[in-house]
Amino acid sequence: MGSSSATPTINRHPTSQVVTIYDRYFLIDCGEGAQMQMRKYKVKFAKINHIFISHLHGDHILGLPGFLSSLHLMNRTNDLHIYCHEPLKEILEIQFKHSETYLRYKIIYHFLEEKQSEIIFEDDKLTVETLILNHRIPCCGFVFREKPSLLSIRKDKIEAYQILPQDIPSIKKGNDYKAPSGKLVPYKELTYPPKSPESYAYCSDTKYDESIFPQLQGVKILYHEATFLHELLKRANETFHTTAKQASDVADKCGVQKLLIGHFSARYNDLEPLLDEARKGFKETYLAKEGEVFSLN
C-alpha cells in the first residue's frame, strides 16, 4: 500500500503492506494514508487482527492513530494485537487521551525485543519471528513461515487397502498403516508428499548487514528496502539505509526465490533505474509498488 521512504510523493505513499495467509490478514507498518490505500485496494478492515510495526519513525506509524480510530468508529469490539517497540503505546495513548477517544475494543500490546530475535506470533498454520535490523533507532523485520503441512492421502489407495476414516489422520502424520489383512503398508505408498512450506521476509529500514542472513536463508519471497541507487552508498550508510545493489546482494547470498524492493527515496520519480540496478545482481527482482499483489504460491 506504500512504497515511499521518509516523505510521500504524488504517486507514492509511505510504507505499509498487508499479508494474507489462510484468510488471516496481517498489517505490516502503517504509514500516513494507509487506511485510504486499504479502501482503494478493498482490504477488509475487520479482517485485520494483528499489526506489526517495525520501528517508530513517522513514515511507518503516522497512519496508525487514524486507522485505530476508524476501527472504533466502525464499532469494532474484537481485540486487536499490536507488535511493536514499547514507546508506541505511549504515543498512541497520548493521542487518544487528548482527543478524548475511548476505544470500543481492546488493544493488546506485544513489545519487541531490541537485541534478540524471537517468535512473536504462532498459531496452527504459521509463525512470525523478528529480525533485528541495523537502523538509527531500534528496528525489526518480520519473517512469516508456514508450518509444514500434513501428507496428502491418495484416494485410490483408500479403497484398495480398505482404509477406515479414523486411520487417515495417522497416515497423514507419516505413520505406516496396518491393513485388515495384517499387511503393514508404508505411508509413502499411501500418500503424496506435502507441498513446500511458504515463507515471506520483510526487511524494513536497515543498513546492509549480514548478521541477519542465517534467518533469511531459503526464504521464498524477500522484501528488502532499497532507498537509494548505489551511487549514493555514502548517503545510504549515513542514514542507515540500503541501496538497490545491496538489496540484490542480500537476495543472492541468502538464496531466496524472489526479491521485492521498496522504501524508495522521494528523489526518484522514475523507479526503473533502481529496478535495473537490483536485477543486475538478482534477476527475480520486482518493484513493491502501490497496488501490486505478489503470490507466495
Angstrom distance (rounded) from CA 212 to CA 117: 10
First to last CA, the chain: 21
- Amino acid 283 reads K
Angstrom distance (rounded) from CA 233 to CA 11: 25
Q: Exactly one of 23, 29, 59, 270 is catalytic; name it.
A: 59
Place of cell 512450506: 197
- Amino acid 240 reads F
Question: Partners of 122 in the beta sheet?
Answer: 127
Angstrom distance (rounded) from CA 192 to CA 152: 5
Angstrom distance (rounded) from CA 79 to CA 139: 25
In a 13 Å sphere around the CA of 201, the CA atoms on its Cβ side amount to 28
Angstrom distance (rounded) from CA 290 to CA 3: 6
Three-state DSSP state, 1: coil
Question: Partners of 178 in the beta sheet?
Answer: 184
Question: Partners of 130 in the beta sheet?
Answer: 142
Burial of residue 204 (number of CB atoms within 10 Å: 0-12, 13-18, 19+)? buried
Is there a catalytic annotation at residue 249?
no
| Residues known to be catalytic | 59
